[in-house]
Amino acid sequence: MNSDILLLLLGIAVMTSCKSIRKVASTDYSGSVAATQKMGGKKRQFINGIEVTLGTVTTTKQKTTTAGSTGVKKMAKPVSASKTDVEKANWLQIKYAVLVDIPAENLNNIPLLELIDQWWGTRYCIGGSSSNCIDCSGFTQVVMREIFELTLPRTAQEQYNLMQRIEIEDLREGDLVFFNTSGRGISHVGVYLQNNKFVHASTSQGVTITDLGDKYWSPKFRGGGRKRD
């Protein structure tokens, strides 16, 4: 009797264990696996532009842009002369630096360059004082009045008489240079620039720039002049 009871209890225990095993075996985990694989390769976007990839080890880095960045300050543009004015000044400096044979930055009297350029090539005529034609002393009157605020008498000889004598090695921009081209005293005058060059109204070329060492002008040179103190 006791052995029959023991066998019955053992059978009940075996049947219960088999049902549990079948339940566990029949459970479907495919959804969990699929979800894990899907999440493993997906990128997620977070605030402030921080981007990470799930399932990987990364260091976060904030994205930056050049446009509209809050950490970059725009520099204010300096107040300066207009672009046209600057370009014109630079052009005149370069143009006349070639004629005077000095660095362009050394020609910094822009009003003088502008006046020379305005009158450049104007033909010569005795007694002339206009843009149609002008003579040497008429031209020096214009330059000294407009640029150096000095009023001069009309003729080259009168201008020479007004000035303090200056040796050639002491000449500076704005001094007058005098010549005897006719054998009758001072008959020609120009305005000294730099580097032995002077601007004047020449009988053959009109308003032009010439070197004091020129073979025609050098022997006729009679000295420089500067306004008396």
pLDDT above 70 coverage of the chain, percent: 64
Selection from 15-24, 60-69, 81-90 with the highest mean pLDDT: 81-90
**Whole-structure pTM value:** 0.64
Residue 143 has pLDDT above 50, yes or no: yes
Q: What is the pLDDT of residue 76?
A: 43
Please provide the average confidence, as pLDDT, over all residues in the chain.
76
- Cβ-based neighbour number of residue 224 at 10 Å: 22
Q: Can you tell me the distance from the alpha carbon of 26 to that of 116, in angstroms, rounded to the nearest whole number?
A: 106
Average pLDDT on 204-212 reads: 97
Q: Can you tell me the distance from the alpha carbon of 216 to that of 229, in angstroms, rounded to the nearest whole number?
A: 32
Give the model's confidence band at 81: pLDDT under 50 very low, under 70 low, under 90 confident, else very high: low
Residue 35 has pLDDT above 60, yes or no: no
Give the model's confidence band at 88: pLDDT under 50 very low, under 70 low, under 90 confident, else very high: confident
Cα torsion 167, 168, 173, 178: sign: positive
Residues with catalytic function = 136, 188, 200
Residue-range domains of the chain with CATH: 121-227 (3.90.1720.10)
Residue 162 has pLDDT above 70, yes or no: yes
Residue 165 has pLDDT above 70, yes or no: yes
Q: Between 43 and 12, whose confidence is greater? A: 12
Q: Between 10 and 134, whose confidence is greater? A: 134
CA dist 20 to 13, 26, 32, Å?
Answer: 11, 10, 22
Q: What is the pLDDT of residue 6?
A: 52
Q: Between 189 and 54, whose confidence is greater? A: 189
Q: What is the pLDDT of residue 8?
A: 54
Average pLDDT on 127-132 reads: 95
Q: What is the pLDDT of residue 103?
A: 95
Picking from 178, 218, 175, the residue whose alpha carbon sits closest to that of residue 194 is: 175
Q: Between 7 and 49, whose confidence is greater? A: 7
197, exposed or middle or buried, with CB in 10 Å at 0-12, 13-18, 19+?
buried
Lowest mean pLDDT segment, chosen from 83-87, 112-116, 156-160: 83-87
Average pLDDT on 48-75 reads: 36
